[in-house]
């Protein structure tokens, strides 16, 4: 309004993006931020160094308690939050660590979303309330040892045996796999015109196992597993009845990628703020390094890309809430935001110098985590081709 005082410049919100958020948005964001500050940040460097996520089941129950699991889903104990509110939660969780955001994303945007959107009422009633509460952890089995970007070529098979289904195959790089109580597994079916179908698999079913993958140098504070399906026999009602073909898993991935658009900016924000605080206090040549032009140029460029990315995420969230978000637009967001987040982390590392490689600071941990985020749920090249096809009308995936 005319004559109103201009608010002071906030280095942590230079565009005033908080003005876009409602009081409820801010309350949800602050709740998740406080939980992460209390429960993750004091321990995550040690978890990362040890390559484990101890107490994951307790963390899942706590995340369920604050409504973070299956946040944008409605009914069945889910919070029914907006897409923007879910995005804000993803940003705050990944500002703590990508592994924590991955736990929530796989639980809610992949496993729960698949059951919520494509499951029978019986499947929804059986699984979703306990998953929303964090009492049951879920995983999502699509990627295979030899088939990642081309899931249509998967080798996992489901064949009929009387009224039952029998699943055989392997899935790889599965977040939450070793601790999951239920797995949503996608398999080729010979007798279905749709080809690929989804199955809800209780992990205590004979023939199912999930050995944990070790020796990772990224997402170390996360449970990553292989799924082995050795003639896993399931009843007829284990199949997700409302979808067939690749449309099912790809729509789940699009939902999860939306969370990554926000989450990557959380890792970037944490690294930027660490670099900004360091530049204000670290002295060389008799003054703080933040007073040198080259350091200020780095900080300015990092701030521009960080807050452009948050603004992009917010725009996509509003489109999702309006029912107008297209998969190509999610690819736009994931491609840009993860790429820029990695660059922000790398630049932050240069400002911190040798201290940048220490786990006393979050920068290198975020940078190595983002190397996984860059390629999971769609590599850079796949999202470039999605956008290329949308822009030209020409399919370059197989040509």
Q: What is the pLDDT, as a whole number, of residue 399? A: 58
Exposure string for 254-268, b = 16+ CB within 10 A, e = fewer: bbbbbbbbbbbbbbb
Q: What is the pLDDT, as a whole number, of residue 147? A: 79
Considering the entire predicted model, what is its pTM? 0.94
Identify the segments of the chain with pLDDT beneath 70.
1-3, 148, 191-194, 399
**Encoded tokens for 247:** 């449309």
CA distance 94 to 100: 7
Between the two ends of the chain, the Cα-to-Cα distance in Å is: 56
Domains and CATH numbers, the chain: 17-132 (1.10.540.10), 138-244 (2.40.110.10), 248-392 (1.20.140.10)
Q: What is the pLDDT, as a whole number, of residue 1? A: 52
Q: What is the pLDDT, as a whole number, of residue 13? A: 95
Q: What is the pLDDT, as a whole number, of residue 187? A: 94
CA distance 306 to 78: 30
Q: Pick the catalytic residue from 46, 49, 377, 381.
A: 377
User: 292: helix, coil or strand?
Assistant: coil
DSSP for residue 70? T
User: 170: helix, coil or strand?
Assistant: strand
User: 358: helix, coil or strand?
Assistant: coil
Q: What is the pLDDT, as a whole number, of residue 167? A: 96
Q: What is the pLDDT, as a whole number, of residue 152? A: 78
pLDDT in tens, 226-281: 999 999 999 999 999 988 888 888 888 888 999 999 999 999 999 999 999 999 99
CA distance 282 to 287: 8
Q: How far is CA 37 from CA 81, 107, 278, 332, in A?
A: 22, 21, 20, 30
Is 377 marked active-site?
A: yes
CA distance 71 to 263: 15
Q: What is the pLDDT, as a whole number, of residue 254? A: 86
pLDDT in tens, 349-399: 999 999 999 999 999 999 999 999 999 888 899 899 999 999 999 988 775
Q: Which residues contact 102 (CB under 8 A, 6 or more apart)?
A: 175, 219, 222
Q: What is the pLDDT, as a whole number, of residue 157? A: 94
């Amino acid at each position: 309004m005319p004559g109103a005082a201009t608010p002071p410049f906030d280095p942590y919100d230079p565009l005033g993006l908080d003005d876009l958020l409602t009081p409820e948005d801010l309350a949800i964001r602050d709740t998740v931020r406080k939980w992460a500050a209390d429960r993750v940040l004091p321990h995550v460097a040690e978890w990362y160094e040890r390559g484990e996520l101890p107490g994951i089941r307790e963390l899942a129950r706590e995340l369920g308690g604050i409504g973070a699991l299956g946040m944008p889903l409605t009914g069945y104990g889910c919070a029914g939050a907006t897409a923007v509110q879910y995005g804000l939660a993803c940003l705050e969780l990944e500002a703590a660590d990508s592994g924590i955001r991955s736990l929530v994303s796989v639980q809610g945007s992949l496993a729960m979303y698949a059951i919520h959107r494509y499951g029978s009422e019986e499947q929804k009633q059986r699984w979703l309330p306990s998953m929303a509460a964090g009492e049951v952890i879920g995983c999502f089995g699509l990627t295979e040892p030899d088939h990642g970007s081309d899931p249509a070529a998967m080798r996992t098979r489901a064949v009929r045996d009387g009224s039952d289904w029998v699943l055989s195959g392997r899935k790889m790089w599965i977040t939450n796999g070793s601790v999951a109580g239920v797995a949503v597994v996608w398999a080729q079916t010979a007798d279905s015109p749709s080809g690929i179908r989804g199955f809800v698999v209780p992990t205590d079913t004979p023939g199912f196992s999930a050995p944990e993958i070790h020796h990772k140098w990224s997402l170390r504070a996360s449970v990553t597993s292989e799924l082995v399906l050795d003639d896993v026999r399931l009843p007829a009602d284990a199949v997700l009845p409302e979808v067939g073909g690749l449309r099912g898993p790809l729509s789940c991935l699009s939902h999860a990628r939306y969370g990554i658009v926000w989450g990557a900016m959380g890792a970037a924000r944490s690294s930027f703020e660490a670099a900004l605080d360091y530049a204000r206090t670290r002295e060389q040549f008799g003054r703080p390094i933040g007073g040198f032009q080259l350091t200020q140029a780095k900080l300015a460029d990092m701030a521009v890309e960080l807050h452009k990315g948050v603004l992009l995420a917010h725009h996509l969230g509003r489109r999702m809430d309006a029912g107008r978000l297209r998969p190509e637009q999610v690819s736009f967001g994931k491609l840009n935001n993860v790429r820029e987040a990695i660059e922000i982390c790398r630049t932050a590392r240069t400002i911190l110098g040798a201290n940048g490689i220490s786990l006393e600071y979050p920068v290198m941990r975020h940078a190595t985590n983002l190397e996984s985020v860059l390629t999971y749920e769609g590599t850079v090249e796949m999202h470039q081709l999605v956008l290329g096809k949308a822009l030209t009308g020409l399919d370059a995936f197989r040509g």
